Amino acid sequence: MIKKIIVFLLLTIISFAADATVEIVKKIDVLPKIAIQDASPNNIDTEFRKSFFKLLAGDLRVSSHFRVEDEYLRSSYEGGPIENFLSDKKVDLILRFSLDQNLNSAAANVKLINARTGVTSFEKAYNLPDKKRYPFLAHKISVDINDQIGAPSISWMEQSVVFAKYTEAKKSDIIIADYTLSYQKTMVTGGLNIFPKWSSKEQSAFYYTSYSGVEPTIYKLDMRDGSRKSIISGPGMIVCSDVSQDGNKLLLTMAPKDQTDIFLYDVRTRKIEKITDYSGIDVNGNFIDNDKRIVFISDRLGYPNVFAQNLNDKNVEQMVYHGKNNNSASAFDNYIVYSSREGKSEFGGSTFNLYLISTKTDNLRQLTATGENLYPRFSKDPDTIMFIKQYQNQSSLGIIRLNANKTYHFALKTGKLQSIDW
């Protein structure tokens, strides 16, 4: 029965996923219902067990592939005739976890039980070397459980987010985190450190801009050994906007003659090539089409908008014909997501909304409605977009699940998000 449900669900997702700009308005209520049981030993702190439960429940909800039973349930690890079926809850699946007491690692044993038959269909022991990384342990478990039901992968949940946050005037720290901001570790502090960008898919190092020296400088921080290397400096401003898939080329926004343009920097040869050539503002270059073309923001029409250009010629193509201030963009295959200022006014709470377009069709899909929604970044899969949300005085990390048409926010407790990458 469950397999039939899953196949039906997958067929539905696949048929709509053909064009992510088509908004799905009819909900199909056949998602498997899952309950989560805590089978951890009693001497593990109760609050810790409950927060782990909440992380798992949150992940499964954000995946949009499950209906999640909200109640916090306990069980022994082997369970029994009641715990292995939970007949009164009418669930299809039971996720049972038992946290380990090890002080030096984040570890758990996990079972996935078919609640119709009481049979354990999946069981695994997990161990991450750093106890503080328990949110990543929860995400890893959720990714595996999601894989077990054959749903589209949510492996993006295991990706680390790197972000800069303003702490006070001219001061910004760089922090790595999980997507819920439950885990946070400050990697760079002291002065103004901004625009972090992962240097590769492995996420073992990142580039960032520091204002600590005579000129703004891009550094690379290798998290494996803590080493920091200066890459390139420039007057005025310098930002690493994107990194090629092989990690060998960077798109930089630089102003060597007080004039911002986009440059291509080869990490191996240290050769710099000027890509855009306009006397106004050209920023926020992103690689597309196998790193042969870029999407970027320019005010060459008198207002910020989204353009594309091949790396080997100067022909520029306008990509967006909507909005009068489109100030940030991210691209994946033929999709572009951008942030657009709504309305002309100077204030009273300017609204910035995210829009998704396909370069192959005329469809335009509005993704947000209120507040300032800025800095969109596609995940490694095109179904998930991360962005910064500022609403009144609250700064949050936003996650949009495109196929499910749902948005989730994770608030930053102190400071203001400056930029993000994952």
Measured from the CB of residue 42, what is the shortest distance to other proteins in angstroms?
32
Interaction between residue 191 and other proteins (CB under 8 A): yes
Interactions with other proteins, residue window 316-345 (CB under 8 A): 325, 327-328, 339, 341
Distance CA 73, CA 71 (A): 6
């335009």: which residue's tokens?
Answer: 364
Least distance in Å: CB of 382 to other proteins?
21
CA proximity to 137, closest of 101, 176, 97: 97
> Across the strands, what pairs with 417?
165
- Out of 76, 87, 153, 186, which residue is the one contacting other proteins (CB under 8 A)? 186
3-class secondary-structure state, position 107: strand
Q: How far apart are the first and last CA of the chain?
A: 37
The yes or no reply on residue 84 touching other proteins (CB under 8 A) is: no
Strands 351-358 and 335-342: antiparallel
Residues from 154 through 183 that contact other proteins (CB under 8 A): 166, 169-172
276 belongs to the binding site for other proteins (CB under 8 A): no
> Which tokens sit at 368?
């947000």
Phi, psi (rounded to 5 degrees) for 343 = 80, 160
CA distance 230 to 128: 31
DSSP 24-59: P-S----PPEEEEEE---TTS-HHHHHHHHHHHHHH
Restricted to residues 226-265, the positions that interact with other proteins (CB under 8 A) are 226, 228, 230, 235-237, 239, 241, 253, 255, 258-260
Strand, coil or helix: 376: strand
For other proteins, how many residues bind (rule: CB under 8 A)?
66
How many angstroms separate the CA atoms of 351 and 368, rounded? Answer: 10
Q: State yes or no: residue 202 binds other proteins (CB under 8 A).
A: no
Residue among 284, 368, 403, 407 that touches other proteins (CB under 8 A): 284
Is 272 a binding residue for other proteins by CB under 8 A? The answer is no
Min dist. Cβ of residue 28 to other proteins (A) = 35
C-beta of 316: minimal distance to other proteins in Å? Answer: 17
Q: Which residue number, 31 or 385, has a Cβ lying nearer to other proteins?
A: 385
CB of 100 to other proteins, least distance (A): 21
396 binds other proteins (CB under 8 A): no
- DSSP type of residue 192: B
Q: Which stretch binds other proteins (CB under 8 A): 7-15, 83-91, 100-108, 387-395?
A: 387-395
Cα separation, 188 vs 166, whole angstroms = 12
37 binds other proteins (CB under 8 A): no
Q: How far apart are CA 131 and CA 107, in angstroms?
A: 8
Indicate whether 122 belongs to the interface with other proteins (CB under 8 A). no
Contact flag: residue 104 with other proteins (CB under 8 A): no
CB of 326 to other proteins, least distance (A): 10
Angle, helix 134-148 to helix 46-63, in steps of 10 degrees: 40
CA distances from 275 to 56, 173, 300 (A): 45, 30, 15
Binding of other proteins by 216 (CB under 8 A):
yes
In whole angstroms, the minimum distance from the beta carbon of 163 to other proteins comes to 12
- Closer residue to other proteins, CB minimum distance, 142 or 253: 253
Q: Give the residue carrying structure tokens 């782990």.
A: 52
Angle at 324 between CA 320 and CA 330, to 5 degrees: 45
- Among residues 350, 358, 359, 405, the one that binds other proteins under rule CB under 8 A: 350
- Per CB under 8 A, the segment of 59-67, 91-99, 137-145, 204-212 that binds other proteins is 204-212
Distance CA 392, CA 373 (A): 12
> What are the residues binding other proteins (CB under 8 A)?
166, 169-172, 185-195, 210-214, 216, 221, 223-224, 226, 228, 230, 235-237, 239, 241, 253, 255, 258-260, 280-284, 297, 303-304, 325, 327-328, 339, 341, 346-350, 352, 372, 374-375, 388, 390, 392-393, 418-419
